[in-house]
Amino acid sequence: MIPSDPEIIQYLEANADLIKNASGELSVINTSKIVEIHSRITAREYKIDTEKLADKLLSLEAKIEF
């Protein structure tokens, strides 16, 4: 199930500092790419590579200091 836009926004707002700190320096954000992916997700045309996503999440989690 894909969460609705308000749920995504609420999650990102609640975790913005944690995400920023975990990522170190933020790179340049390609907003056109974000809009394109968002459009594909809402149209249910975006295929998520769950293994790649899990690997990236584990890597990010390893960088977070608790």
Sign of the alpha-carbon dihedral angle for 7, 64, 55, 19: positive
| Segment 35-49, tens digit of pLDDT | 999 999 889 998 889
Q: What is the DSSP letter of 15?
A: T
Indicate if the pLDDT at residue 2 is higher than 60. Answer: no
pTM summary value: 0.39
Domain extent at residue 58: 5-63
For the chain, the average pLDDT equals 82
Q: Between the CA atoms of 54, 14, 18 and 31, what dihedral angle is there, to the nearest 10 degrees?
A: 70
Q: What is the domain count for the chain?
A: 1
